[in-house]
Amino acid sequence: MSSNGSPSQIAEGTEQAEDRQKAANAAPQLQDVLRHTCPSPAGPRVLSTFRNILDRDSCDLVWVTKEWRPQQVTLHARTRTTAKIRQDVISSPKMQHTIEQLSSQNEVPKEALWRELNDILIEMGHTQTMPVVRWFGYVLSKIMRKIYSGVFVNEESIARLRASIGNNPVIFMPSHRSYADFLLMSYVCFHYNIMLPVIAAGMDFVSMWGVGRLLRDSGAFFIRRSFGNDKLYWAAFSEYVQTLITAGENPIEFFVEGTRSRTAKSLCPKLGLLSVALEPYLTGQVSDIVVVPINISYDRTLEETLYSYELLGVPKPKESTSGLFKALNVLDEQYGRIHIDFTEPISVNKFFGDLRSPKLMRPLHLPHQITPDESTRIIWLANYVVRQQQKNAVISLFSLAAVVITHHVLTKPRNQLLNMHQLTRQVASLKSAAESFGALIDCRDNLEVSLQNALHIHKSLIVTSKDGQVQVKNVAAAQAPIDPAKMKGHSLQDKTLQVGVPMVMLQHYVNQTLHLFICPAIVSLSVQQSINQGSGMKDDVFARYLFLRTLLSHEFILHKAWETMDFEQSIQQLQKLGVLDESLHDSMKLSLGSNSHLHQILCQLLLPFLAGYSSACSTMLEVPAGKTVSLNEALKSTQARLEKLLLSAQLNHHYSLSLDLLTAAVNSLSSMGAVIKNKENGKVLYSPNSNRLRQVTQIVGDFLQLVAPICRKSQDEQARLFITQAKARL
Amino acid sequence: MDSELHGLNAGSDRECERLDYFDDVENNRKSSGSIPLKRQELLKWHGWGYKDTKVIVTQRGKLFITSNRYPLVKISQVSQKVREWIQQVWGIDLYEVENIPEPPENPEISNFPGPFLDSEFLDGLLTLQIVYSTDGEDRFFRSHGQAMSDIMNARQYQITRLPDLVVWPNSHEDVVKIVDLSNKCNIVIIPFGGGTNVTSAVTCNPNETRMIVSLDTSQMNQILWLDKRNLTVCVQSGITGQDLEEQLFREGFTTGHDPDSLEFSSVGGWVSTRASGMKKNRYGNIEDLVVHIRFVTAVGVLEKESRGPRISCGIDFNQIILGSEGTLGVITEVCLKVRHLPQLQVYASFVFPDFETGVKFTHDVAMKNIQPASLRLMDNMQFRMGLIMKEEQTFIGEIVDKLKLIALSAIANINEDEMSFAVAVFEGFKDEVAINKVKIEKLVVKYGGVSAGAKNGERGYLLTSTIGYMRDICLNLGMLSDSFETSVPWDRVLQLCQNVKSVVAEESKEKGLKHLSVCCRVTQVYDTGACVYFYFAFNAAGVVDALRVYEQIESRARDEAIACGGNISHHHGVGQKRRKWVPRQISPTAVGLYSAIKKTLDPNNVFAVQNIVLPAEITSSKL
């Protein structure tokens, strides 16, 4: 280990170390800004401020036909027609300039470009119309009443939002776990008389007959998923977004994660759309922009099974209307509650500390060039937004149960089934741990009843037998056979899928808690390893923590600037919980406390990640010197390697097979300099940087050793812990 | 208290003696200026303008002006509609505001601190036989400008340091002698012209340990000569715009320089603050009008040896006099361009559907280079504020007005709550004006605007002269209100206006202000951009430390204006109010350059009025 250098040195190339230094230098100053901008709410969040908006006095028909007098977003807002917006984009200085440039560069007549632009804008544009919104709202009310037991909105956060609307353009940034997010946001805004958002959506919906039109009429505008070097499209898209910002008639809404998170963990924020949306502020066209991160927490995700298959590499069906109708069988199921919380609105001007300078200003027809300073802050803001979303989640009891159940399945011998009593006890202790990490847990009645209700909603995945045994159900059995040719990753064996699908589904809910536990888990594991190696000194722990944090930075929201803050907080929390020993007086030396059970659970949470990353390392190590592999090849062979490990009982967590996880692993290795990313003919290829990769592999392996379960079971043995779909029906 | 009275008495004695001498000189004068040596005889101590002129609100919202100086707006009636609107915006019912408390006519003498006098300097002045005074009132009148904060401080006697002595030179030579004497005796000079600055540009440094002399140029008010063949006039720097124009008018000439403060501001003040006139489109701003300047510095007189129309002789050092704001020396004589009086002057006014179309119109006027002598565009709120000063309507008149509004909304799709209002002045030969007018009117139609007549245009301009008086009645009513201005490229005019308004609204909300108004107008139309004026007012009732709140909000608004591509000032200047923005605005190199100039021209810091650059930045400068 010592010969390999310290973990933190290996974690980063020199450049990255410099970046970190820079970020650290900027940190105190920005921390001040943040503290100033975003005072934490007066008291802890409580469930009592959440109100079920489906539970209203008026009937749905009266509700959807109410007088529509929304709160204005900005002082100067004027409602524009679709045609006027298009006109404004076309006549904007930037668009005119782009067309002139493209015309002379590519020797295309301007008229052709104007026509093309017009077509792009028609394809893109939203056509929000209240009658459609109302009608749609009516149908949604009916559907939601059927499948959800409530849509709970934090009314305190609504009041706070209202108070900050009125002078500046507003951007809503909800978390994105489900297609339902699109509709929910507008639904909530309608309910509270807040101007309906205009929503950036992916182009995939447009091809769905009727649905594209319906979403358009409800206020969605559509952006192609990739438009590479299409300058005209890029200009049209950015001008469209910016005219929405500068005119300030509607809030604009987009998902900073870029796409639905299949894993239920927050995705690393995408900066493109955010940068475009902030440009009017950076160039002094608006005085400020109010960014409102929003958390939408689902008890049960509509797409849970679908996601599970997708993560394992079974292709996602193309969005189609008939597919949608097929999906309507979801209407027969129960999906529990939804919680929505609008977090503290962020003033971009305050967050950025006003970097704007006329010196840097160019005429408005030229595109703005983002300065390094601006870029640092945009990254910071994006990460902050996601963190705010996480902090304001409402965690369902089922997520905690999922942690306990997974832990049980992985660690206990096959004949030892989990009973309801044990589950309740363990969930209770996990709940108090989660609460000490700042979580708001959806537990309205006494724990036992609430837990039973929560399990009931997930009865398709978890079954409680009459004698109180809790078992995972084999959901995969009921699915149609999968054509191996369509597999996105390695063609997994049927029996792997049978255990894998439910385990990945279960992990979907475990993941919902990970933003709470990730830093404490990393710290716990680092402490344990440091002690095992005879140190336990805080510096040594920090170095190990830093390695893991860097390794997992593509997996979790672990912005560099927060590394020290997170570390100190985690230590404090862990000491309070007895995971770390509090009594020792030497503040520079850490040791484990009495709560070894929680320590074990926390460390275990890292298992699927470390296992997946370790295999990814091994796969990359096998790439011969001078050879390269594509991402897809790397994923496939890593999955294959993992499947072997699973079959031979050297590994028993199927979530390691997740393509999202393995992609993050490759990206992470690439940013750590352990693999080298090359672009050849527009294709991205990877090759190992052997020395560094060997070091990383070694360190990851060392960590993995510590979390590998005490009790190893083969996949077959594990499968016996499950009851199959068929059995459940009996 | 004793010393104060002593100082006062001592001052009075000397003053009487000197005033005799003054009368002798007076007999030899060609004309006397309209500003007397004792400003307090003519002007208010607690606000803007003439003592005899104030706005009075009587029962049921009748407003009238107590003098006949502004005939067109003498009497006005607040309509029911405006009353309700004002009530909503300002929280004040103009129909119910009788007996507005008002400051006393004369300031309380006992509130003035006594002067600190340097006997060597006094002896020197006696020898030079130059009129001076150490009277408290004289000193008080020259201790502040006309910014709202200045007036508020004056009203509350919050001005901690007054000039110790006021001196009235009569000529360039007098000034040279005074500056020499001051330099020798280590005395501070603060040049004082019309006293209309709104940047705290004559405020004494409270920590100044030396004697401070206010050098009042008001008695240097002569036209030295008028050269009709070369179209130039040479004046002493203390002459006010009004006096100069009156005398030129009699000869058939005008400078065409017409700032809003024309009645009181002086030529020297224009030059030292880089002033701008309403009709700059035709005549140019002060820097375009100046042909020659005599500038007395502590190390000698700075002037060119040429009266030619233009000179290429290295750097033009007139440019360090223009905008020097009294920190480098005293401007004593200025030679300005003049023109023959225009054959015709015509006012006009237009309404546009909203501010945005109005801005597009003014922009297009600039694009086509068809600017009338003056063109201004008010936003909706400013237009409606103007309606406070509207003539009383007869019954028939009211009906006609209503019909006009209905017609406007029906035919031109213009409604009262959105429209913007533009006023224009055309000047020149008849045919020239006619052509210009036609072009403008065509453009108005293109932007969906409608002509609103000449009389409204003239009223629009006249109202500008009464804004100072309105500001004062606002203060009496408990409204803090002031203006600030900026200039900005065309492509950012509209956004700057919107953003500044948003910021003011947002800050006001944060500060818990309930009743406020912020409005703007485009007052100058350049080829490359525009000058924008903002008026911000709020009801200070119940607001703790309201003046500071005002300044914080204004400061944020100015930050925003700069961030949006504007600048710290189009023509008001820096003074002591806006120094903090200067380094960023002109670069630290330029601050170093200024400091070097300052150190060269004024090694003993005689002109220690701390305008433009913070003193610490001068000391720390390495140049």
pLDDT of residue B616: 87
Whether residue B35 has pLDDT greater than 60: yes
CB B330 within 8 A of CB B217: yes
- The enclosing H or E element of A440 equals strand A440-442
**Band of pLDDT at residue A480, cut at 50, 70 and 90:** low
- CB within 8 Å: A358 and B501: no
Would you call A284 and B509 a contact, using CB atoms and an 8 Å cutoff? no
How many Cα atoms occupy the beta-carbon half-sphere of B342 within 13 Å? Answer: 19
Q: Does the beta-carbon distance from A287 to B509 stay under 8 Å?
A: no
Report the alpha-carbon angle A330-A337-A477, nearest 5.
35
Confidence of residue A267 (pLDDT cuts 50, 70, 90): very high
- Give the model's pLDDT for residue A203: 84
Helix (H) or strand (E) run with residue A567 in it: helix A563-577
Please report the pLDDT score of residue B1 as a whole number. 33
Q: Do B503 and A287 touch (CB under 8 A)?
A: yes
Nearest CB to A358 within list B498, B505, B562:
B562
Q: Please state the rounded mean pLDDT for residues B75-87.
A: 89
The radius of gyration computed from the CA coordinates of chain B, to the nearest angstrom, equals 24
Residue A15 has pLDDT above 50, yes or no: no
Instruction: Yes or no: say if A312 and A657 are a contact pair by the CB < 8 Å rule.
Output: yes
How far off is chain A from B440, nearest CA to CA, in Å?
24
Closest CA to B92 of B386, B388, B380, B383: B388
Residues of B involved in catalysis: 533
The arithmetic mean of pLDDT across residues A422-439, rounded, is: 93
Interface test with B, best of A80, A162, A167, A355 (most B CBs within 10 A): A167
Q: Please give the residue that has the higher pLDDT: either B141 or B465.
A: B141
B118 touching chain A per CB within 8 A: no
CB contact under 8 A, B495 and A76: no
Most trustworthy range by pLDDT among A211-225, B21-35, B95-109, B440-454: B440-454
What is the per-residue pLDDT for B25? 39
Of B506, B563, B567, the CB nearest to A284: B563
A-to-B residue pairs, Cβ atoms closer than 8 angstroms: 64
- Average pLDDT in the B87-100 region? 88
> Where residue B595 falls among pLDDT bands split at 50, 70, 90?
very high
Using left for φ > 0, alpha for ψ between -120 and 50, and beta otherwise, residue A353 falls in left
Tell me the C-alpha distance between B393 and B277, whole Å.
Answer: 33
What integer pLDDT is reported at residue A327 of this predicted model? 60
| Predicted local confidence at residue A226, as pLDDT | 80
Mean pLDDT of B17-46: 67
**What CA–CA distance (Å, rounded) separates A228 from B108?**
76
- Cβ burial, residue A649 (10 Å; 0-12/13-18/19+): middle
A310, pLDDT greater than 70: yes
- Asked if residue A122 has pLDDT above 60, the reply is yes
φ, ψ dihedrals at A297, nearest 5°: -105, 130
What does the radius of gyration of chain A's CA atoms come to, in whole angstroms? 26
pLDDT at B551: 95
Q: What is the mean pLDDT of residues A202-212?
A: 79
Taking the C-alpha atoms of residue A162 and residue A495, their distance in angstroms, rounded to an integer, is 53
Q: A76 contacts in B (CB within 8 Å)?
A: 498, 501-502
Residues of B in contact with A166 (CB under 8 A): 505, 509
Half-sphere exposure of A18 (CA within 13 A, CB side): 3
Nearest alpha-carbon partner for A500 in A222, A685, A292, A305: A305
Write out pLDDT tens, residues A599-639: 999 999 999 999 999 999 999 999 988 889 999 999 999 99
Contact B525, B378 (CB under 8 A): no
Q: Tell me if A285 and B495 make a contact (CB, 8 A cut-off).
A: yes
**pLDDT-based confidence at A510, cuts 50/70/90?**
very high
A93 close to B (CB below 8 A): yes
- Determine the residue of chain B that is closest to A92 in CA distance: B491
Average pLDDT, chain A: 86
What the block records as the tokens of B44 is: 């208010």
Question: Which sign does the torsion angle of CA A207, A210, A211, A215 carry?
Answer: positive
Whether A361 and B501 lie within 8 Å, measured CB to CB:
no
The confidence band for B79, taking pLDDT boundaries of 50, 70 and 90, is confident
Q: Chain B 540-559, CB below 8 Å of chain A: which residues?
A: 559
Highest mean pLDDT among A282-286, A466-470, A722-726, B320-324: B320-324
* Cα pseudo-dihedral A377, A379, A383, A384, rounded to 10: 10
Tell whether B574 is within 8 A of chain A (Cβ).
no
A164 touches chain B (CB under 8 A): no
What's the whole-number average pLDDT of chain B?
Answer: 90
pLDDT at A27 over 70: no
- Taking the CA atoms of residue B233, residue B238, residue B242 and residue B244 in that order, the dihedral angle to the nearest 10 degrees is -20
H or E segment and range at residue B10: helix B2-27
The full DSSP string for B97-131 is --S-----SS--GGGSPPP---HHHHHHHHHHT-E
**Residue B15 confidence (pLDDT) above 50:** no
CB contact B498 to A (< 8 Å)? yes
| The 3-state secondary structure of B207-232, one letter per residue | CCCCCEEEEEHHHCCCEEEEECCCCE
Average pLDDT over residues A312-323: 65
pLDDT bucket at A316, cuts 50 / 70 / 90: low
Per the CB < 8 A criterion, the answer to whether A668 and A549 are in contact is no
**With an 8 Å Cβ cutoff, are A285 and B503 in contact?**
no
Structure tokens given for B432: 């020239």
Which chain A residues are closer than 8 Å to B564 by Cβ?
Answer: 284-285, 287, 356, 358
Collect all residues with Cβ–Cβ distance below 8 Å to A46 and sequence separation of at least 6.
A440
Confidence band (pLDDT; 50, 70, 90) for A328? low
> pLDDT grade, residue B623 (50/70/90)?
low
Q: How far is A257 from chain B (nearest CA, A)?
A: 30
Residue of A76, A93, A354 lying closest to B498 (CB–CB): A76
Percentage of the residues of chain A whose pLDDT score is greater than 70? 86
Q: Which of residues 345-364 of A touch B (CB under 8 A)?
A: 354, 356-358, 361, 363-364
Asked whether the beta carbons of residue B491 and residue A361 sit closer than 8 angstroms, the reply is: no
pLDDT of residue B182: 97
| B563 to A364: CB separation less than 8 angstroms, yes or no | no
Supply the pLDDT for residue A118.
94
Q: Does B500 touch chain A (CB under 8 A)?
A: yes
Q: pLDDT value at position A728?
A: 35
Q: Give A665-704 pLDDT, tens digit per residue.
A: 999 999 999 999 988 887 899 999 989 999 999 999 999 9
- Chain A residue numbers with beta carbons less than 8 Å from the beta carbon of B509 are 166-167
- Residues of A within 8 A of B584 (CB-CB) are 357
Residue B380: is its pLDDT beyond 70? yes
* CA dist A152 → A266, A449, A499, A607, B477 (Å): 21, 20, 34, 34, 49
Q: Which residues, numbered 361 to 380 in chain A, qualify as contacts with chain B under a Cβ-Cβ cut-off of 8 Å?
A: 361, 363-364
Pick B75 or A619 by higher pLDDT.
A619
- CA pair distance A70, A195, nearest whole angstrom: 5
Predicted pLDDT of residue B120: 95
How far does the CA of residue A276 sit from the closest CA of chain B (Å)?
A: 18
Please give the average per-residue pLDDT across A241-267, as a whole number: 93
Residue A72 touches partner B, C-beta closer than 8 Å: no
CA distances in angstroms from A391 to A243, A508, A510, A623, listed in the order given: 32, 18, 16, 41
CB contact under 8 A, B502 and A286: yes
Beta bridge partners of A542: none
pLDDT at A7: 52
Q: Does B482 touch chain A (CB under 8 A)?
A: no
* A412 within 8 A of A711, measured Cβ to Cβ: yes
Residue A46 gets the label, from left (phi > 0), alpha (psi -120 to 50) or beta, of: beta
Q: Note whether A134 and A191 are within 8 A (CB).
A: no
With CA atoms as reference, the chain A residue closest to B356 would be A76
Structure confidence at residue A35 (pLDDT): 45
Residue A246 and residue B563: Cβ atoms within 8 Å?
no
Chain A contact present for B184, CB below 8 A:
no
